[in-house]
Amino acid sequence: MTLSSAAIGGAWAMLAGRFRPGLWALAVLGLLLAHAANNQLNDLVDWRRGVDRGNYFRRHYGAHAVADGLLTARGLLTVFVCTGAAAMSIGVWLWLGVGDAVLWPLVGGVLLSLAYTWPLKGCGLGELAVLLVWGPLMVGGVFVATAGNWSWGAAGAGTLYALAPAMVVLAKHIDKLEFDRAKGVRTLPVRIGDAAARRVVVVLAVLQYVGLAASVFAGAVPWTTLLAYCALPPAWRMVRVLRVPRPRRCPAEYPSRIWPLWYTAPAFAHARRYGFAFVAGLVLGVPLDSLPAP
């Protein structure tokens, strides 16, 4: 999903006729390092707070560096500091080389990433943070780094796409609702309940496709981005799964390697398809459409 956001920022720079591949590649590397650092910080903070200890959801679907004995907590902290420092050094280099316009999405992204695990996720604001980071901050930031100026058009296109990552995170929080409630982590699904949270995901999906059509009609994005409607089949599969409560045990026909990611799996499949198609539509818009980048 990070690559999709970075690709949208680059494609928007192509539409504006201001794409600089070297700067774009550097921005992408910085974002990938920042994402890795954020994951490391999440694991470290949740381990320190006792959230990831014991039979917690996080350990069911992937290795935890500390809990599974791969690293000590101090070792994970060292890895996080090194990864974060590498990401920040790229951000600072882009700021000094491109200009102050890089600073605001850089600072905003860093602050929201640091605050995501605590306190935002526990306040029910984790999904909003994801929407802002993977949308206007990441896409707009890549555009700034590549083209040299801020673009509200790029930020808007990024927000339209970032509804998909927000749905993935919300779906994951629904999947681990009982685990979070037991650990005292008051995510949005814990606060509003399972059924209401599932309805929110469906509403976000509808908003994404209605918003895309409205944006094309208003001339805010190229008509070629309608290619993203190729993601409707996985969107419909996601909605069908969301219509019914999650089973308490892994169904016999369900891949055990994916469980307990029940709602997350179709949400991620949709986000991947939508992101790829949306980026492809923007790139096709370069020769087939003309769009200013205000």
Residue 242 within any structural domain of the chain: yes
Length of the chain (residues): 294
Pick from 115-119, 169-173, 184-188: least confident: 115-119
Nearest to 168 by CA among 24, 63, 264: 264
When divided into structural domains, the chain yields a total of: 1
Residue 194 within any structural domain of the chain: yes
- Does 165 have pLDDT greater than 80? yes
Those residues with Cβ within 8 angstroms of residue 5's Cβ, 6 or more apart along the chain or in another chain: 31, 134, 135, 138, 139, 142, 158, 161, 162, 165, 275
> For position 34, what pLDDT does the model report?
93
Residue 254 within any structural domain of the chain: yes
Residue 17 within any structural domain of the chain: yes
- pTM for this model (two decimals): 0.90
As a whole number of angstroms, the distance between CA 35 and CA 13 comes to 22
> For position 6, what pLDDT does the model report?
95
- Does 179 have pLDDT greater than 70? yes
Residue 253 within any structural domain of the chain: yes
Residue 135 within any structural domain of the chain: yes
Residue 223 within any structural domain of the chain: yes
Those residues with Cβ within 8 angstroms of residue 4's Cβ, 6 or more apart along the chain or in another chain: 161, 271, 272, 275, 276, 278, 279
Mean of all residue pLDDT scores within the chain: 90
- Kindly indicate the confidence band of residue 61, based on its pLDDT and cuts at 50, 70 and 90: low
The 10s digit of each residue's pLDDT in 89-117 is 999 999 999 989 999 999 999 999 888 87
Contact between residue 250 and residue 259 where contact means Cβ atoms under 8 Å apart: yes
Residue 293 within any structural domain of the chain: no
First to last CA, the chain: 25
Containing structural domain, residue 15: 2-288
Mean pLDDT, residues 75-96: 93
Instruction: Give percent of the chain with pLDDT exceeding 90.
Output: 69
The 10s digit of each residue's pLDDT in 215-269 is 999 999 999 999 999 999 999 999 999 999 999 888 888 888 888 899 999 999 9
